[in-house]
Amino acid sequence: MEVKVADHEDFKKKVEIKVPYEELSDKINAKFQQYKKTIQLEGFRKGKVPLNLIKKVYGKQIEAEAIEDAIPEVLQKAIDQEKIKYFDIESVKDVNFNEENGLTFNAIVRVEPEIELTKYKGLKFEKRVYQVSDAEVEEALENLREQYATMDNVEDEAKEGHFIVADLQKTDESGHPLIGEKYDNRYLQLRTKEDDDEVTEQLLGIKPGETRQIKVQAPENAEGEADFDYFSVTVKEIKEKKLPELDDEFAKDVGEESLESLTKKVREQLEKQAADNDNNHFEEIVIDKLVKENPFELPDFIVDSYVDDVAKEIKSRNPQEGSEEDIKKEIRSEAIRNLRWWMIRDKISEMEDLKVEDKEIDDHIEEIAKKAGREAPKIRREYRTDKMRRQLRQELLHKKVIDAIINNSKVVEKIVTLEDLRKQAEIAETIAAD
């Protein structure tokens, strides 16, 4: 097979291909054998028509079909041979075939941009390192106590912090019930006075079995005037949340030997979460830097195709999301950033000879399966499909490229606290508002 490649237009190449007849003869003969099994002519039973007669009657049509079937395979082989990074095939033209000259045709392929990376080594980065505070550990322990809280019945009157189980009947202002507006066994929490909760103020002191009429502010009406809803509240039960004492006994109840070991475990979990968040945050910084430092033109046909696919997927998952056109506008900027990064990533992997071996994928699948516990067999089945293996290969390659960039860069760590992040969020919110 002879292949010539030439630039055609922006992001397009013309591929001229010539294939000798000998290289196609097996495919042509196979196509004749395929038809020999089904063709039926007068005087011959099905499958018994002589091959020379089939060639005489149907030769041109069958030969043309064999060539038509062969063209995609031949073109793909030529593209692979010339190592063309193509996006799609725009057209196939000037197809000619005969026994003397074989097969010749031209193809126009749309290609990915050729990237010249100038800055991916020797970069400088600042990495956030979040410092977990004692207050956050204490808050996590309090949340754990909340998870193990019990709800005890209260026979006396309702106080701040109590929970009321009540039947609610919506009424008019005079107290007459509205049909179809009864709600049984609803939980209401009486909040503290500092919360300025109008329901709490009206239900403090109520007892089991007692009924009270309350009013709550409703949303503004069409004229913009505030209105009220009225309810008859009949209390069935009053409950009080009881938190377990934070001591060694509680630690044992949640699977630890002592309060000290529980506190240590909680801190370790928070620190791991913080480290994972820091790494993800840093990875985005690295990607943004690479995209910014290595600009290149991205053809619209690649962007449009990707944006169309993502918008369709979002719309199929969330039909209420809005029109596809609105979704496309919203995601286009991020889509361009992602496409640029993927191309830069692939270029770096090529330049640094970074590859993902099959064994690495198998090992990663086993790692995921072990963490899944009883779901391990199901996980193994799912991840052994070609689609999932391709996805895992890309994820592992992504990590290798990120690691290669970081290992060839200068990284300065900066300790940050929760207060620092809150201040940053406030500044960002102020800038967004302006």
CATH of the domain at 230: 3.10.50.40
Model confidence at 386, pLDDT cuts 50, 70, 90, reads: confident
Distance CA 130, CA 274 (A): 6
Distance CA 86, CA 254 (A): 57
- Residue 115 neighbours by CB distance under 10 Å: 19
> Are 90 and 187 contained in the same domain?
no
Whether 378 contacts 151, CB under 8 Å: no
Q: Please provide residue 174's backbone torsions phi and psi, each rounded to the nearest 5 degrees.
A: -85, -5
Domain boundary among 226, 242, 258: 242
Supply the mean pLDDT for the chain: 90
> Are 276 and 410 contained in the same domain?
yes
Judged against a pLDDT cut of 90, whether residue 193 lies above it is answered with no
Model confidence at 142, pLDDT cuts 50, 70, 90, reads: very high
Judged against a pLDDT cut of 70, whether residue 141 lies above it is answered with yes
Residue with structure tokens 């592992």? 396
> Are 266 and 207 contained in the same domain?
no
> Are 373 and 428 contained in the same domain?
yes
Residue 250 makes CB contacts below 8 A (sequence gap 6+) with 145, 148, 244, 259, 262
Fill in the amino acid letter for 26.
Answer: D
Nearest to 290 by CA among 99, 123, 83, 62: 123
Distance CA 167, CA 186 (A): 6
99: part of which helix (H) or strand (E)?
none
Residue 280, in any domain of the structure: yes
Nearest to 349 by CA among 285, 410, 392, 393: 393
Residue with structure tokens 């005079």? 174
The sign of the CA dihedral 406, 409, 413, 418 is negative
Whether 24 contacts 67, CB under 8 Å: yes
Domains contained in the chain, number: 3
Model confidence at 422, pLDDT cuts 50, 70, 90, reads: confident
> Are 238 and 158 contained in the same domain?
yes
> Are 174 and 224 contained in the same domain?
yes
Residue 305, in any domain of the structure: no
Q: What is the largest CA-CA distance in the chain?
A: 104
Q: What is the mean pLDDT of residues 180-196?
A: 83
Nearest to 172 by CA among 226, 238, 231, 123: 231
The CATH number that applies at residue 84 is 3.30.70.1050
Whether 231 contacts 204, CB under 8 Å: no
Q: Which domain holds residue 37?
A: 2-111
Residue 15, in any domain of the structure: yes
Q: What is the mean pLDDT of residues 91-119?
A: 91
Residue 333, in any domain of the structure: no
Judged against a pLDDT cut of 90, whether residue 345 lies above it is answered with yes
- Specify the pLDDT at position 392: 92
Residue 258, in any domain of the structure: yes
> Are 256 and 232 contained in the same domain?
no
- Specify the pLDDT at position 221: 58
Distance CA 69, CA 95 (A): 13
Residue 116, in any domain of the structure: no
- Specify the pLDDT at position 308: 94
- Residue 38 half-sphere exposure toward CB, CA atoms < 13 A: 6
Q: What is the mean pLDDT of residues 241-246?
A: 94
> Are 186 and 50 contained in the same domain?
no
Nearest to 289 by CA among 332, 340, 346, 242: 340
What is the pTM assigned to this prediction? 0.75
> Are 234 and 169 contained in the same domain?
yes
Q: What is the mean pLDDT of residues 306-325?
A: 90
Residue 133, in any domain of the structure: no
> Are 274 and 393 contained in the same domain?
yes
Judged against a pLDDT cut of 70, whether residue 226 lies above it is answered with no
Model confidence at 18, pLDDT cuts 50, 70, 90, reads: very high
- Specify the pLDDT at position 92: 93
Classify 128 as helix, strand or coil.
strand
Model confidence at 45, pLDDT cuts 50, 70, 90, reads: confident
> Are 218 and 254 contained in the same domain?
no
Residue with structure tokens 């993902």? 356
Distance CA 57, CA 51 (A): 10
Judged against a pLDDT cut of 90, whether residue 258 lies above it is answered with yes
Distance CA 277, CA 194 (A): 35
- Specify the pLDDT at position 432: 64
Residue 155, in any domain of the structure: yes
> Are 173 and 232 contained in the same domain?
yes
